[in-house]
Chains A and B, each alone.
Chain A
């Protein structure tokens, strides 16, 4: 088992190094003077600040030292959490711009994924044993997963925000607040803004979990061990308990994998609901050709995906004795 994890760690480590290297290489591979070009594109016309930024980036890139030195310096800065300075939010450092957006993304996606997972698995497990629920919940689930997400999100924004007018359709909080703050009013306002984007993500993920769980439970109920238990007169309750537990195993690894994409943000959601977060930030970075910001976000996404994928691997192995023992046997 240790060998398995060491190998996985190595793979993820190598992936990380490659991702960072690509991040490092992109601005340097662009023809011409990347700094001058970025400054021009961002219309930093103020001569003084343009000169300041040029000097700063020259220093940051250390373009006067050999490439391998630049590369090492880049890693060194990275480990100190220094991702450079954002052009579009100048002079905020990239890391703080990203960290400011992160709570919105996490606050939106974590509850949406976790809740849809719990509710979906519950619904699916019940649907697997109730004809009535199977005939109602299943078609609804298929509908939810089949509907294009964009369409569902716009529909929700339109109905909840425009027609009913119950919810705001844009922003993470009202303009009357100058910025995030710790006050009862602000929290209520933020929740109010949060609800529709959350609901859209919750609904769209719900159907998938429910269908998956239903099919898994039915599969387990028809498996040999369920049959054997029943020929030995085991009550339904016990047979279902076993089936449910075994059906949960793939769902648990599935959840860990899903959480990996959390960090990437929900680009479409954040665009449709004009919600702040990493998704909108990506868009801002692209529109403003802010390569440093884009690099920073990319790095975050890569780290997030890698960490949660590793977690999924760990969970997958620990939770299921078949894989766990298989690996132990293989390692000895």
Chain B
């Protein structure tokens, strides 16, 4: 097991109270596995990604544990985490377009960064240049300022920087959202290549774009309102989803949704709930076509099949309807 997350709870402290953005999240990621993390905007995907590497000032680790390669990740302890960042866990942030210091040449910035970790830039330069070539960037970008790179180039540059120390776990947050279609495809393929070449052991790819993550992920996790509602192989999530929320997400997809024959495309009515005072019971209840009395209790995440879990009281009924 590369990554084990157990009942993780992370809240945002606000003046109005705690926003429970992660409310009891448990999952594993195996060595070499690419896990896609999907769900509508505001479901807590970014929060989960950030929790695994760096809590920002308003985030509080309220409960639960995270272990990476059998060793605990001290996510609530910024100092202790610092040693693990970049080397063990790394992230390609949502804001890659502005992730690099605009007033420093990229090579200098990397040298500063490595130097601060006690690594000589010289020693890694050859490897760095090779990886740049791999993603189609010439060596001379190291002498450029970020402003001189196009959006796609910046994205690839940040990908190379984040994975330079061969982290065990890589979190990629909406890495394709800011790009055009051809760049999206290239970036997605590069992520797979990085895994295949052993630059990173395992990966969590955060996206609201299920069709993209379907192409590269081994496993897909669907999040709703701070909890995981379904986890299964990418194939199963797209072809045979069990949870009413996953079904709604899939049927809202244009190209994949077509496989459902004559069912019409529809977006899911309503919005995910506020996490300041989340509703009790199943959080999808207000939007769920199957909701019933038992749904006032929170459904547990239970195994359905090998590697397939879902959290819903009416899985069988939901199957019958599909």
Contact = CB atoms under 8 A, between A and B. Distances in A.
Interface of A: 223-225, 227-235, 237-238, 242, 245-246, 249, 320-322, 325-326
16 contacts: A223-B98, A224-B93, A225-B100, A225-B101, A225-B102, A229-B113, A231-B90, A233-B84, A234-B112, A238-B116, A246-B101, A246-B102, A249-B103, A320-B103, A321-B145, A322-B145
A325 B100 contact: no
A252 to B, nearest CB: 12
Contacts of A228: 93, 95, 99-100, 158
Interface in B54-105: 54, 56, 81-87, 90-91, 93, 95, 98-104
B196 interface: no
B193 interface: no
A249 B103 CA distance: 10
Interface string B2-16: 000000000000000
Contacts of B90: 231-232
Given A227-B93, A231-B91, A238-B112, A325 B99 contact: no
Given A224-B95, A231-B54, A234-B116, 5 more contacts: A225-B98, A225-B101, A232-B86, A233-B83, A322-B103
B99 A225 contact: yes
B211 to A, nearest CB: 27
A234 B147 contact: no
A107 B81 CA distance: 53
Interface of B: 53-54, 56, 81-87, 90-91, 93, 95, 98-104, 112-113, 116-117, 145, 147-148, 158, 161-162
B294 to A, nearest CB: 42
B243 to A, nearest CB: 31
Nearest to A326: B147
Contact of A233 (B56, B86, B104): B86
Given A242-B101, A325-B147, A233 B87 contact: yes
Contacts of B161: 232
A91 to B, nearest CB: 56
A249 B158 CA distance: 25
Contacts of A231: 53-54, 85, 90-91, 93
Tell me if A's interface is mostly helix, strand, loop or mixed.
helix
A224 B84 CA distance: 21
Contacts of A229: 101, 113
A325 B104 CA distance: 12
A227 B96 CA distance: 11
B52 to A, nearest CB: 10
Contact of B117 (A223, A233, A245): A233
Given A233-B83, A233-B85, A238-B116, A321 B91 contact: no
Contact of A234 (B84, B113, B148): B113
Contact of A245 (B84, B103, B145): B103
A239 to B, nearest CB: 9
Contacts of B100: 225, 228
A261 B86 CA distance: 49
Specify which of B83, B87, B116, B117 lies most central, judged by the most chain A CB atoms within 10 Å of its CB. Answer: B116
A247 to B, nearest CB: 11
Nearest to A233: B85
A233 B82 contact: yes
Contacts of A237: 116
A144 B83 CA distance: 43
A322 B112 CA distance: 20
Contacts of A238: 112-113, 116
Contacts of B84: 233
Specify which of B54, B85, B101 lies most central, judged by the most chain A CB atoms within 10 Å of its CB. Answer: B101
A321 B99 CA distance: 16
Contacts of B53: 231
B83 to A, nearest CB: 7
Nearest to B82: A233
Nearest to A220: B101
Given A229-B113, A233-B85, A234-B113, A242 B145 contact: no
A242 B104 contact: yes
A326 B145 CA distance: 11
A229 B101 CA distance: 9
Specify which of A233, A235, A245 lies most central, judged by the most chain B CB atoms within 10 Å of its CB. Answer: A233
Nearest to B94: A224
Contact of B103 (A235, A246, A326): A246
A315 to B, nearest CB: 14
B200 to A, nearest CB: 14
B120 to A, nearest CB: 16
Contacts of A321: 102-103, 145, 147
A162 to B, nearest CB: 50
B113 A232 contact: yes
A163 B260 CA distance: 91
Nearest to A226: B101
Nearest to A237: B116
Nearest to B83: A233
Leading 4 A-B pairs by shortest Cβ distance: A233-B85, A228-B99, A224-B98, A232-B86
Nearest to B93: A228
Contacts of A224: 93, 95, 98-99
Contact of A230 (B54, B87, B98, B158): B54
